[in-house]
């Protein structure tokens, strides 16, 4: 087991899959999601189909995100990097990435029953993140500023946890952003 999250077999399957995703990208092609699902098999329940990642329930309180496109590879890397380098004030709003590798990451599972749709809380978080140097792209829709409810969950106490923050961007000119070593 890889730190008790994945078996050697899982890691082997994932590595071969990510090589296929990269080969497609080199040919300027990409898998259709349904074709990718027919090829890629892991012994876990699929609980999420994103724009560029499959999400599996590891049944231990964590989910496994697997890229099926080059963007997905970048997204898993971005989430791991952002989580690992975030200030505590930011981290408390991000579902924790506890492990990652090339093309995948393992994240804390956030309960789906958290569906308190409080718009004000979303705008408050948006301002808070901008105030600490993070542009929370995808928290709301760029066109109409509507919250993108699929990307985060709000618990009954009103605490927001973002589950898809791959497109959050550090504001380069922001003075307080710590610069982490890029270890991926």
Contacting positions for ligand ADP (CB under 6 A): 47-48, 50-53, 55, 63, 65, 72, 75, 95, 107, 109-110, 150, 163-164, 166
* CB nearer ligand ADP, residue 68 or residue 133: 68
Distance between CA 143 and CA 156 in Å, rounded? 28
Segment 40 to 59, residues that bind Mg ion, using CB under 5 A: 50
Sign of the dihedral through C-alpha 72, 15, 179, 177: positive
Q: Which of Mg ion, ligand ADP, none is residue 58 near (CB under 5 to 8 Å by kind)?
A: none
Tell whether residue 79 is a contact of Mg ion (CB under 5 A): no
Q: 159's torsion region: left (phi>0), alpha (psi -120 to 50) or beta?
A: beta
Distance between CA 5 and CA 137 in Å, rounded? 30
Least distance (Å) between residue 167 CB and Mg ion: 9
> Mapping DSSP to helix (H, G, I), strand (E, B) and coil, where does residue 81 land?
helix
Least distance (Å) between residue 16 CB and ligand ADP: 20
User: Residues in the site for Mg ion, rule: CB under 5 A?
Assistant: 50, 164
């Amino acid at each position: 087991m890889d730190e008790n999250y994945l078996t050697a077999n899982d890691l082997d399957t994932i590595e071969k899959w990510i090589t296929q995703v990269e080969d497609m990208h080199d040919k300027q092609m990409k898998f259709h999601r349904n074709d990718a699902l027919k090829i890629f098999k892991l012994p876990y329940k699929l609980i999420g189909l994103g724009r560029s990642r499959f999400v599996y329930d590891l049944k231990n309180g964590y989910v496994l995100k697997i890229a099926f496109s080059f963007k997905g590879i970048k997204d898993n890397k971005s989430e791991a990097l952002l989580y690992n380098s975030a200030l505590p004030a930011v981290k408390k709003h991000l579902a924790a990435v506890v492990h990652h590798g090339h093309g995948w990451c393992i994240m804390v599972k956030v309960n789906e029953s958290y569906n308190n749709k409080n718009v004000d809380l979303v705008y408050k978080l948006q301002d808070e993140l901008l105030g600490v140097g993070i542009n929370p792209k995808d928290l709301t829709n760029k066109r109409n500023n509507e919250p993108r409810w699929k990307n985060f969950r709000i618990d009954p106490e009103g605490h927001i946890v973002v589950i898809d923050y791959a497109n959050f961007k550090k504001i380069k000119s922001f003075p307080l952003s710590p610069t982490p070593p890029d270890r991926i």
